[in-house]
């Protein structure tokens, strides 16, 4: 798979005006560029300053500030919303690495507030309760970059067309079960291979079938990959899970509940960081997998009622 992102042009850039010295903020290059700097790294969910510091010391390349990790959102139920801006600001002040935060699908005002908080990336996330059952946020209108979840190529390209600068698998957050992330990653890989073998006439029909913009499908064919950085997320709980997703072709991993719902978060976090760098080195993977203590318990996805499957949220 080619990994060349340097020549990628993201379709609908923010409406930008250059300053007199030619300086432009919030351009597509600048927004996708930060995701390129995350590659090969681990982005960790944290709910307070203490966890954020543990994540930074472990070598996280960014943290996701949220009030409850997905496992607790599942347990407590109710409506899950954007985090308190005060808590986000505290975390931002405590670490030097980039800070991300989640807003609800379609909730563009939460996104405006997060932009105002000066965070580095917004996750328009199915883990929170959706605010709109038809529309996603028009992300290209924002000066701040967005990451969105996807289960297949069509979904990924629809999000990119709306202005997402980074994609992640949806997986099934808060379960500690990697099967859905694997399913989504394999699905996207399989569709990319299909596209690579199609001629232009077939591409038109395929674009219609998967409900994706034709120009982005053409770009996927040329690049042999998604036109933006693609991380794994949803159910990653061990160094082996992280390395599995990397070997499946993901550019990096998000770990949510998997770290701070385990017995020894600092050690597990370090191990997952090492595993993500050395994802093809079985010797190192074996070393870092030793004596990590209790993993998070995990949920069998087959036993999850359909209404509790977050991956089904988003359109």
Partner 1 sequence: MASPAVKIGVLALQGAFIEHIHVLGRIENVTAVQIRTPAEVNDPTLDALIIPGGESTTMGLVAERSGIVEPLRLWAHQGVKPVWGTCAGMILLANSALQMKIGGQPLLGGLDVCVDRNHFGAQLQSFEMPVSIPVLGEEPFQAVFIRAPVIVSHKPNVTVIAKLEKKNADDEHERIIAARQSNLLATAFHPELTGDSRFHRYFVEMVRTSKLARQQTASS
Known binding-site residues equal: 45, 174, 186, 235, 256-257
Piece of 65-73, 141-149, 169-177, 184-192 that binds partner 1 (CB under 8 A): 141-149
- Residue 146, SS3 per DSSP: strand
- The answer to the question of residue 59 lying near partner 1 (CB under 8 A) is yes
Shortest Å, Cβ 241 to partner 1: 18
Q: Do 99 and 91 meet the contact criterion of CB atoms below 8 Å apart?
A: yes
Give the Cα separation of 166 and 233 in Å (integer): 12
Contacts of 133 (CB under 8 A, 6+ apart): 106, 315
Can you read off the two tokens belonging to residue 260?
């701070």
Q: How far is the CB of 144 from partner 1 (least distance, A)?
A: 6
End-to-end CA distance of the chain: 27
User: Any contact of residue 98 with partner 1 (CB under 8 A)?
Assistant: yes
Q: Going residue by residue from 101 to 120, which x/- string records binding to partner 1, judged by CB under 8 A?
A: --------------x--xxx
Task: List residues forming the annotated binding site for D-glyceraldehyde 3-phosphate.
Answer: 186
Interface segment toward partner 1; rule CB under 8 A; list 1-9, 79-87, 203-211, 232-240:
1-9
CB of 225 to partner 1, least distance (A): 11
The reply to whether 145 sits near partner 1 by the rule CB under 8 A is yes
Site string for partner 1, 260-299 (x = CB under 8 A): ----------x--xx-xxx--x--x---------------
> In the annotation, is 89 catalytic?
no
How many CA atoms lie less than 13 Å away from 156 in the CB half-sphere? 28
Which of 51, 74, 83, 121 binds partner 1 (CB under 8 A)? It is: 121
Annotated binding site for D-ribose 5-phosphate: 45, 174, 235, 256-257
Residue 88 to residue 78: CA distance in whole angstroms? 21
Q: How far is the CB of 162 from partner 1 (least distance, A)?
A: 19
Closest CA to 276 of 254, 297, 259, 257: 254
Q: What is the DSSP string of 187-234?
A: HHHHHHHHHHT--HHHHHHHHHHTT--HHHHHHHHHHTS-SSEEEB-S
Minimal distance in Å, beta carbon 83 to partner 1? 17
DSSP single-letter state for residue 168: E
- Strands of 121-125's sheet in order across: 229-231, 166-169, 146-150, 121-125, 99-104, 62-65, 42-46, 253-255
Q: Does 6 bind partner 1 (CB under 8 A)?
A: yes
Cα-Cα-Cα-Cα dihedral sign, residues 32, 33, 35, 39: positive
| From 10, 44, 47, 61, residue interacting with partner 1 (rule: CB under 8 A) | 61
Q: Which of 102, 170, 221, 261 is catalytic?
A: 102
Q: What is the binding site for partner 1 (CB under 8 A)?
A: 3-7, 18-19, 21-27, 29-30, 33-34, 36-41, 53, 56-62, 92, 94-98, 115, 118-121, 143-145, 270, 273-274, 276-278, 281, 284
Question: Which residue numbers are catalytic?
Answer: 102
């Amino acid at each position: 798979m080619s990994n060349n992102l340097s020549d990628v042009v993201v379709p609908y850039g923010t409406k930008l005006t250059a300053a007199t010295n030619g300086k432009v903020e919030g351009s597509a290059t600048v927004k996708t560029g930060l995701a390129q700097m995350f590659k090969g790294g681990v982005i960790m969910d944290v709910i307070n300053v203490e966890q954020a510091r543990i994540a930074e010391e472990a070598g996280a390349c960014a943290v996701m500030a949220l009030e409850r990790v997905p496992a607790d959102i599942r347990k407590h139920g109710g409506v899950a919303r954007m985090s308190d801006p005060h808590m986000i600001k505290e975390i931002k002040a405590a670490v030097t690495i980039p800070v991300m935060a989640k807003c609800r699908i379609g909730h563009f005002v939460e996104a405006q507030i997060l932009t105002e908080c000066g965070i580095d990336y917004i996750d328009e996330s199915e883990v929170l309760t959706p605010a709109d059952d038809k529309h996603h946020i028009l992300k290209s209108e924002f000066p701040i970059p967005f990451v969105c979840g996807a289960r297949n190529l069509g979904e990924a390209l629809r999000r990119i067309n709306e202005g997402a600068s980074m994609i992640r698998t949806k997986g099934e957050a808060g379960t500690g079960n990697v099967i859905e992330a694997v399913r989504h990653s394999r699905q996207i890989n399989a569709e990319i291979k299909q596209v690579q073998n199609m001629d232009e006439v077939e591409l038109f029909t395929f674009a219609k079938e998967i409900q994706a913009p034709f120009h982005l499908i053409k770009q996927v064919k040329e690049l042999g990959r998604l036109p933006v950085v693609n991380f794994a997320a949803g159910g990653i709980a061990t160094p082996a899970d992280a390395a599995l997703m990397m070997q499946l072709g993901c550019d990096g991993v998000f770990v949510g509940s998997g770290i701070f719902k385990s017995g020894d978060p600092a050690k597990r976090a370090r191990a997952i960081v090492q595993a993500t760098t050395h994802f093809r080195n079985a010797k190192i993977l074996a070393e870092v997998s030793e004596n990590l203590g209790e993993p998070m318990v995990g949920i069998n996805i087959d036993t999850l009622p359909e209404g509790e499957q977050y991956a089904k949220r988003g359109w």
